[in-house]
Structures are given as structure tokens and as C-alpha cells.
């Protein structure tokens, strides 16, 4: 048998290469780079995070199977805008989607283009499927008299997210609202493996003592502000009330597995809907959105036990660093400060987060194995693209938890692409060139046989990762990002040596005063500047140092030209379908991937 298999593979090789590959796109949520051992070895030559122990055997295995793009960055570190960027292959300033606004793409919007599942179905003949968290606020303009927007599903098959599973009791945690009460009451509902359900009110005035049976039983740690007795914040630590296969994410994996098991035949979904399984005669594109390790951070007991007794090195935060925060970052700090937590709370926060990452690693491994098995059973080529988080997550770095900021902890999210075609994505390869979330869409399209040189695809802001891996493209000199949610309009440019960020608007993104930042003095745009050669942790804001002014001036102009003047779009996104659009294009072609910076020696500290 061992002699026959290679011969069969040789015979099938040309036929498989001529087929379009089945594609699995896996996205985790709020996951930071150093939660993966393979990424730590690539960046720090050690298995563990600088904070301490992590476990990721399945993603480590996936990295060995394929090509890792370790210096990959997201362009807007917040769930909804980041996922819109991924699905569109375009910057926020090209789609007009900057935060959690509902957007209404119509034929009237000249700037809008189809998103990944639409292109894969219409232009490449794929059957498109989504399960788990999508995070897209994509709706159609209202058609009802009350002006209520209508949900749109851009995937042909939706296997479900929380709202499909929770009503059937298929969850570990769910947020529910009692609309009949006055005022309305909001509850978090925890469901235990024995079927018991316990609710925790998260409205104003709640304290840890309101539900001691939940707090003590699940060891709940909630985010809270300094000096605040109310504990209504997000759950950042605790133990899951369910086993690993019965959490929200466990049900997503079960649903996908059952779908793949019912190829060419009808079946019933886990939550009871009738559905046709995948067609073996057509290529399959699957989007799998795990919600973990997003809050509530509740690792199952079996994974929490793996981290019991570990002491972590908590990132330090100083008054000097806080003093260097401009007003926008001060706002971020007031929103998510964590340095006031006790030592025990900080240890739990880190330990439970990494345990939750270990749990989602287990789910990723099972999903990848199931998908590859499905493809090989049907003698079809395959490709898996894994994204380590839709953005990162701070664990007391810069004195904060959460995301939404201009720091690498928020922005750097490696991508792995593994494929049955090792010529496009070689095994165990690490690419250190800058790559971005913009690159996923063109990578999928190229794998599906779409010619990206056609004028109809010129709108894409990214590149095919296979070409990056093969050295067919010149490396980018920089990446840009535009964090907006929480802190307001801000933009970032990062090169290998420097990081510069600035406020780009005096207020809201509303189509007005787009040129404000261009005219404003440096101090008014609230600059942050880091020399990454001597300060890779981005602690010392050197924006006021005249020594660096020549570099800052070049970075600022490049950043302004791109995000404010290279095809910027701002939309009203009115619920009734108002298609008012404001554009700014005073620097077309500014985003050319190139920047020339003056040579500056690091400033001694």
C-alpha cells in the first residue's frame, strides 16, 4: 500500500492542479500574536510569550504545513471594520466603513464593489458557506414604512451564529434583553452542562455580590474602572460552564463537521433547519468565524487546568509612559485601563486568556483536519487560510486591556496559508515582508483562477500572498491603519524602523473638514512617534523630539496623502438608504508601497 499511494498521487497530481481548490478561511477573534508558539519562535526564538506559557500545537502544525506571513497587520483594530476590510480587500477609507455603522451597498454607490463570497460565487463558480461570527454590518436599505433596514446574507449558505443557536439552548453564554421591563433589563445568561441556567444583570448598579452563585462557581473576573464598585464590564476571566464541545464555538465546529459529512445530500442543522449539504461537483468556499478568545473569556475547565499554577510576567506601566499619551490615547486609556487591578486579577486575566487561546487552537486543528479530509475524500485540492485574530488584544501592555489602538499589540496578526499546492505556498516557510488584511481577497481570487490583471479587479488594495511568498512582488516599505472606534479618527503608518500615528480629524467622520489635519500644526494632530530600533515595545513617545522631525515630516505627509487624499470615501449610511457620498482625491496613487526616509541615528535614552 505504501508503494501504491505515491503512484496514485503522481497520477492525480495534474488533475488536482487543474481543479479549483476547496478553501477554508478561519478567523479567530481578539487573538494576539504571542498566543501561538510557532509565532514566538519566528519572532523571539522561544516557544512561550514574553508573558509566559502558551499552548498551540495545532496552529504550530498548520504553520509547518504551509507558509506563515509573520509581519501581517490589520488596518482597523475593531471587529466590524476589520472584517469589512478582510471581506472587501479594501481600506476603510476606500469603502467608507470606519466602525460599526450599518452600510447599504447599492448600484447607486459608484465606489462600492462586491465582497469575497459574492465574487467567489459569481466569478469563480464556488458554493459559499459561513458558520460562526461574520461581524459584517452589511444590510440593504429599508423597504418597510418604519425605515427598518433589512439583513443581507452575502454567503449562499449560512450555518448560523449565536442568534440561531441560543434560542435552542445551544450555548454556554449569551446576552439577553428583557424588552418588556421599564427600563429594559440586560442579562448575561450562563448555561451549565446539566441544563441549569443562571442570569447576571449587567445594567447600571450591578455588583459582584448580585450573583455570588455565578461569580464563585465560575470564578468570574470582570473588567472594572479604578475606584468603581459596579462590575458590569466584560468578562475577562473565569471557567466555562460547558465542556469544550458544547460552547458557542464548539457548536460552530459541530455544525461545520455535520455539513461536510452530508455531501450531496440533505440534512438537518444542529439548530433544526433543513439544509442541503455541499455539492461534490463544485468547489467549496467556507468561512469559519470562531468567537474565542473574544470576551467573555471562559476557557473550558480541561484547558484551564493546563495553565493552573503558572505565574506570568505582567507588562509594566509607568507614569512616564502615561504622560506621553496624547488626548486620543488618554481616551483609550480611560476606556480600558487595567493597571489598577490586583496582582491576582492580572494573573487570572493573562492565564485565562491564554487558556482560551489554547482551546480555540484545539478547535482550529479539528476544523482543518475535517476540511482537508473532506477535500481528499472527494479527490479535490484544498487551501486553508488562517488568521490569528481579527485584531490583537492587550494584557496590561500600555496599562490597558482590549484593542482599538495604534500599537502593534492591536495591529499585528499573522496569517498562515497551507495548501495542497506546495508550489504556491511551500511548507514550513516564513515570510517577513509586510503583508496586510487587504491581501486575503486577492489571494482567494487568484487561487480560484481569477485573473487579477483584469481592469474589473483594479479596485483591490491588496496583493496575492502567493506572489509575496514567491518573491514576485517588491516588498512594501510600510503598512497603514486607521483605528477609529472608541478614540475617534486616527491613522497609523509603520515602517520596519518607525511608527507614527496622528489624529486626522477634529471630530467625527462626516464628510467635512477632510483637509483639517493637513493644515494643522504638528502638536494639534496629537502625534505619537516610536523609534522601533531602540523601543520595539512602543513605550517612549518621541514625537516632540526635534532630532526626529525630518523623519516625522516624511511619515506624516505620506500618511495624510494616503488616508485623506488617495480615494477617500465618506458615506452618510442613512438607515433609509441615503446614498450621499463625499470623496477626497488630492493625492491619487499615494499608496504605492514606497517611502524614502532620511537616515537618523537612534536617540540615546
- The average confidence (pLDDT) of the chain is 92
Query: Is 23 inside any structural domain?
Result: no
The yes-or-no verdict on residue 206 having pLDDT over 90 is no
Confidence band (pLDDT; 50, 70, 90) for 178?
confident
- Which value, to the nearest 10 degrees, does the dihedral of the CA atoms of residues 306, 311, 313, 316 take? 120
Give me the CATH number covering residue 537. 3.30.1120
Query: Is 461 inside any structural domain?
Result: no
Q: Which of 237, 264, 279 is the last residue of a domain?
A: 237
3-state secondary structure 256-312: HHHHHHCCCCEEECCCCCEEECCCCCCCEEEEEECCCCCCCCCCCHHHHHHHCCCCC
Query: Is 534 inside any structural domain?
Result: yes
Pairwise CA distance, residues 176 & 187, whole Å? 5
Cβ burial of 242 (10 Å; 0-12, 13-18, 19+) is buried
Query: Is 579 inside any structural domain?
Result: yes
The yes-or-no verdict on residue 13 having pLDDT over 60 is no
Pairwise CA distance, residues 481 & 18, whole Å? 37
Query: Is 165 inside any structural domain?
Result: no
Pairwise CA distance, residues 305 & 302, whole Å? 5
pLDDT tens digits, one per residue of 359-396? 999 999 999 999 999 999 999 999 999 999 999 999 99
pLDDT of residue 4: 32
Based on the structure, what is the number of domains in the chain?
A: 2
pLDDT tens digits, one per residue of 236-293? 999 999 999 999 999 999 999 999 999 999 999 999 999 999 999 999 999 999 999 9
Query: Is 531 inside any structural domain?
Result: yes
pLDDT of residue 10: 43
Pairwise CA distance, residues 435 & 68, whole Å? 11
Cβ burial of 549 (10 Å; 0-12, 13-18, 19+) is middle
pLDDT of residue 9: 40
Mean pLDDT of all residues in 501-524: 95
Confidence band (pLDDT; 50, 70, 90) for 16?
low
Closest CA to 591 of 565, 552, 556, 554: 565
Cell 441544563, residue? Answer: 195
- The answer to whether 389 and 413 have CB atoms below 8 angstroms apart is yes
The yes-or-no verdict on residue 604 having pLDDT over 80 is no
Query: Is 491 inside any structural domain?
Result: yes
Confidence band (pLDDT; 50, 70, 90) for 150?
low
Confidence band (pLDDT; 50, 70, 90) for 179?
confident
Confidence band (pLDDT; 50, 70, 90) for 5?
very low
- The answer to whether 509 and 490 have CB atoms below 8 angstroms apart is no
pLDDT of residue 8: 41
The yes-or-no verdict on residue 321 having pLDDT over 90 is yes
Mean pLDDT of all residues in 21-29: 98
DSSP H or E stretch at residue 416: strand 415-419
Query: Is 192 inside any structural domain?
Result: yes
pLDDT of residue 207: 60
Q: How far is CA 170 from the centre of its chain?
A: 24
- For 570, the domain range is 479-584
The yes-or-no verdict on residue 6 having pLDDT over 50 is no
Q: Which of 191, 214, 237 is the last residue of a domain?
A: 237
Mean pLDDT of all residues in 168-182: 88
Q: Grid coordinates standing for 133?
A: 461570527
Cα distances (Å, whole numbers) of residue 375 to 100, 129, 166, 267, 285: 36, 15, 31, 19, 11
> How are beta strands 221-222 and 235-237 bridged, if at all?
antiparallel
The yes-or-no verdict on residue 1 having pLDDT over 60 is no
In this prediction the pTM is 0.94
- The answer to whether 95 and 112 have CB atoms below 8 angstroms apart is yes
pLDDT of residue 213: 79
pLDDT tens digits, one per residue of 393-413? 999 999 999 999 999 999 999
- The answer to whether 437 and 85 have CB atoms below 8 angstroms apart is yes
pLDDT of residue 318: 96
Amino acid at each position: 500500500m505504501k508503494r501504491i499511494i505515491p503512484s496514485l498521487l503522481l497520477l492525480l497530481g495534474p488533475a488536482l492542479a487543474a481543479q479549483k481548490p476547496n478553501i477554508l478561511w478561519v478567523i479567530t477573534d481578539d487573538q494576539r500574536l504571542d498566543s501561538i508558539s510557532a509565532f514566538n519562535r519566528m519572532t523571539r526564538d522561544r516557544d512561550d510569550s514574553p508573558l509566559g506559557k502558551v499552548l498551540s500545537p495545532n496552529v504550530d502544525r498548520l504553520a509547518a504545513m504551509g507558509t506563515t506571513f509573520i509581519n501581517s497587520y490589520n488596518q482597523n483594530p475593531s471587529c466590524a471594520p476589520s472584517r469589512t476590510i478582510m471581506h472587501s480587500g479594501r481600506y476603510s477609507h476606500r469603502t467608507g466603513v470606519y466602525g460599526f455603522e450599518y452600510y447599504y451597498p447599492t448600484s447607486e454607490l459608484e465606489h462600492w464593489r462586491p465582497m469575497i463570497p459574492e465574487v467567489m460565487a459569481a466569478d469563480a463558480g464556488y458554493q459559499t458557506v459561513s458558520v460562526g461570527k461574520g461581524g459584517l454590518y452589511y444590510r440593504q436599505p429599508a423597504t418597510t414604512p418604519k425605515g427598518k433596514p433589512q439583513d443581507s446574507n452575502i454567503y449562499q449558505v449560512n450555518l448560523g451564529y449565536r442568534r440561531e443557536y441560543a434560542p435552542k439552548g445551544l450555548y454556554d453564554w449569551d446576552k439577553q434583553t428583557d424588552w418588556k421591563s421599564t427600563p429594559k433589563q440586560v442579562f448575561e445568561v450562563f448555561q451549565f452542562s446539566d441544563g441549569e441556567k443562571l442570569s447576571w444583570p449587567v445594567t447600571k448598579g450591578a455588583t459582584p455580590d448580585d450573583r455570588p452563585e455565578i461569580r464563585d462557581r465560575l470564578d468570574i473576573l470582570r473588567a472594572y474602572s479604578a475606584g468603581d464598585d459596579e462590575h458590569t464590564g466584560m468578562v475577562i476571566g473565569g471557567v466555562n460552564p460547558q465542556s469544550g464541545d458544547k460552547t458557542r464555538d464548539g457548536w460552530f465546529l459541530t455544525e461545520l463537521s455535520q455539513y461536510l459529512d452530508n455531501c450531496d445530500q440533505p440534512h438537518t442543522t444542529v439548530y433544526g433547519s433543513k439544509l442541503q449539504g455541499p455539492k461534490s461537483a463544485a468547489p467549496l468556499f467556507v468561512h469559519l468565524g470562531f468567537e474565542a478568545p473574544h470576551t467573555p473569556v471562559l476557557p473550558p475547565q480541561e484547558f484551564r487546568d493546563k495553565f493552573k499554577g503558572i505565574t506570568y510576567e505582567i507588562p509594566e506601566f509607568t507614569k512616564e509612559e502615561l504622560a506621553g499619551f496624547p488626548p486620543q490615547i488618554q481616551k483609550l486609556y480611560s476606556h480600558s485601563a487595567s493597571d489598577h487591578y490586583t496582582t491576582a486579577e492580572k494573573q487570572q486575566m493573562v492565564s485565562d486568556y491564554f487558556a482560551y487561546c489554547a482551546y480555540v487552537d484545539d478547535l482550529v486543528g479539528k476544523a482543518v483536519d475535517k476540511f482537508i479530509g473532506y477535500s481528499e475524500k472527494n479527490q479535490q485540492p484544498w487551501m486553508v487560510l488562517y488568521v490569528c485574530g481579527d485584531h490583537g488584544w492587550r494584557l496590561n501592555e500600555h496599562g490597558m486591556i482590549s484593542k482599538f489602538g495604534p500599537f502593534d499589540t492591536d495591529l499585528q496578526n499573522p496569517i498562515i496559508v497551507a495548501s495542497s499546492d506546495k508550489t504556491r505556498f511551500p511548507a514550513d516557510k516564513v515570510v517577513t515582508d509586510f503583508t496586510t488584511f487587504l491581501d486575503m481577497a486577492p489571494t482567494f481570487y487568484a487561487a480560484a483562477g481569477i485573473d487579477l490583471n483584469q481592469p474589473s479587479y483594479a479596485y483591490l488594495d491588496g496583493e496575492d500572498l502567493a506572489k509575496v511568498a514567491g518573491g514576485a512582488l517588491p516588498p512594501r516599505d510600510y503598512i497603514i491603519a486607521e483605528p477609529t472606534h472608541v478614540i475617534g479618527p486616527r491613522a497609523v503608518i509603520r515602517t520596519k524602523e518607525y511608527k507614527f500615528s496622528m489624529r486626522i480629524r477634529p471630530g467625527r467622520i462626516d464628510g467635512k473638514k477632510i483637509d483639517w489635519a493637513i493644515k494643522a500644526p504638528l502638536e494639534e494632530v496629537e502625534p505619537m512617534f516610536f523609534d522601533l530600533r531602540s523601543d520595539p515595545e512602543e513605550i517612549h513617545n518621541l514625537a516632540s523630539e526635534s532630532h526626529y522631525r525630518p523623519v516625522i515630516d516624511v511619515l506624516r505627509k505620506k500618511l495624510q496623502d494616503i488616508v485623506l487624499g488617495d480615494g477617500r470615501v465618506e458615506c452618510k449610511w442613512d438607515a433609509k438608504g441615503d446614498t450621499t457620498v463625499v470623496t477626497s482625491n488630492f493625492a491619487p496613487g499615494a499608496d504605492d508601497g514606497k517611502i524614502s526616509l532620511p537616515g537618523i541615528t537612534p536617540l540615546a535614552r
